[in-house]
Amino acid sequence: MLQLFLSMEGVKAVHYGTSATAIKGSDGSVNGSEKSGTSSGSQMELEQLGVRFHYVPMNDEKRTKQWLDKVTGDTAANDSSVRDDDHGVVAAAANVLVVMDKFFAEEAYAFHIQKHLPNNAAIVLDMQDMHSLRWHREQIIKQREQQQQNQKTTDITFENDAPGDPLSQLPIRDFPTANDTDLQRELASIHRSDLTLVCSPAEMDLLHKTYNVPKEKLCLASFFVHESLIHRENPSFAERKDFVFLGGFRHAPNVDAVRQLKRLWPRIRTKVMQPQQHESGPPQHKDDLKLHVYGPFASKSLRDECHNPSEGFLFHGFSNKSTEEIVSRHRVMLAPLRFGAGIKGKIVDAWAYGTAIVTTPIGSEGMEGTSMVSSGASMDNNSNGGDWGGVIAKDSEDFVQHAASLYCNETRWQTATWQGKELLTELYGMQNFEKVRLELVDVVNNLESRRKSDYVRGILWHESLRSHGYFSRWIEAKNKP
């Protein structure tokens, strides 16, 4: 089966054969090139599995058509499943799978696929996260901050549920409505596609129950973590020190989270120094305690704003170190996310490398285990986390208290890291990959029958409603000399 992976960066990974195993990891945020944003390590792994990378510009139909002819022709010539021994190579393989990386790529490329491979290319959208939900929540946070400034109530207190506390009353239950243009674009992309890969069960539920997307058009596809990573031996509590934050800074939730850490860090540092926080022995010297911030694409202004060695706040930015080296050497990861969507790769990394995590209900959304879901545990105010792999803080004071407690209390730290490993196995073990693989095979093998009953898709692919394709053609014509 030929698989084409299309992204807005212009990277097209052509996946030959059926022997390769899909890899969806979270190490690109640190190991990726600061210049290109791609992960050379991940690309090498994929190439070893038979994936080939090509670069095709957007808004160039001629070159896109040439590229499609080449890759489909090459595959047909080398794949016995699409070769007719009596009549030579079949013109276009019947089992072509095209995966679009985020809805922007679907808007830019899907109309080419629909035009040139209308009946034999299954279009699959990989959402990554629900962008319209993330943007909606970001706007809510910005509007609240603006209201506070207008009302001159920006003095921050740390009392529970204080109106001025940036970490209280997060928009965990706020969803975009039907008149939201970003939601309209994203839902249109989902309906134009034959199948959508959704990384978060919370977003899967939202799409089906609130936005009425049929279940058969959705497939849960989170992270796939190999058993060797789940069962690896990690450094002990005593072998670790300091706090860490990890994330790429082209992602607005990470920029905001680091600014929250800048605000919270002095208080966390003071709390850790209190003798009563420690199970045994005196606390380490204050000057030795540090918070390390890693991730590419940070602006100079953000670095200058946050980096302060005298306070133990070290903004390293991009690093050539591996994710393992960064995460596993630190005792606690801090993730005060106020908005966002999808599955948080930094939390998956923390669980994999045995690092305790303190986050918010936004950070933990969609990462609940079976025991939490069945017990009805609330992700809004469950500061202890229940059976969750870390702590879900409900406000700033809660965040500070639990950050210090996890750092100083070995028993609590061991419980949190053990629970993280349990959730890693349950939620992101490789057993989940087989379900995704079977769903992808089904959409390819039953493409015609699925489309006959997909009325919304048929409507959206009618010429009068395909403005995204015509807009791209207009850009192409405009750019011609």
189 and 195 Cβ atoms separated by less than 8 Å: no
Give the separation between CA 95 and CA 441, rounded to whole angstroms.
9
pLDDT in tens, 244-284: 999 999 999 999 999 999 999 999 999 998 876 666 555 56
Q: Locate tokens 């679009």: which residue?
A: 100
Helix (H, G, I), strand (E, B) or coil at 339: coil
Give the separation between CA 231 and CA 306, rounded to whole angstroms.
36
User: What pLDDT does 6 receive?
Assistant: 58
Q: Is 476 exposed, middle or buried (0-12, 13-18, 19+ CB in 10 A)?
A: middle
pLDDT under 70 in the chain at which residues? Answer: 1-43, 45-46, 49-56, 73-95, 152-163, 276-287, 371-386, 463-469
User: What pLDDT does 280 receive?
Assistant: 54
CB burial of 439-448 (b: ≥16 within 10 Å; e: otherwise) equals bbeebbeebe
The widest CA-to-CA distance across the chain, in whole angstroms, is 83
The one-letter amino acid code at 239 reads E
Structure tokens at 101: 């990386």
Phi, psi (rounded to 5 degrees) for 220: -75, 120
Indicate the helix (H) or strand (E) that contains 317. Answer: strand 313-317
Residues listed for the chain: 481
User: What pLDDT does 113 receive?
Assistant: 87
User: What pLDDT does 26 receive?
Assistant: 36
Structure tokens at 334: 């801090």
User: What pLDDT does 192 receive?
Assistant: 96
Quick count: other Cβ atoms within 10 Å of Cβ 409? 17
Structure tokens at 427: 């939620």
Tell me the pairing of strands 391-392 and 51-55.
Answer: unpaired
Sorted by sequence, the CB contacts under 8 Å of residue 115 that are 6+ apart come out as none
Question: pTM of the prediction?
Answer: 0.83
| Angle, helices 410-428/345-352, rounded to nearest 10 degrees | 110
State the virtual CA torsion across 56, 60, 65, 66 in degrees, nearest 10: -60
Give the separation between CA 373 and CA 202, rounded to whole angstroms.
11
Specify which residues 358 forms β-bridges with. Answer: 334, 391
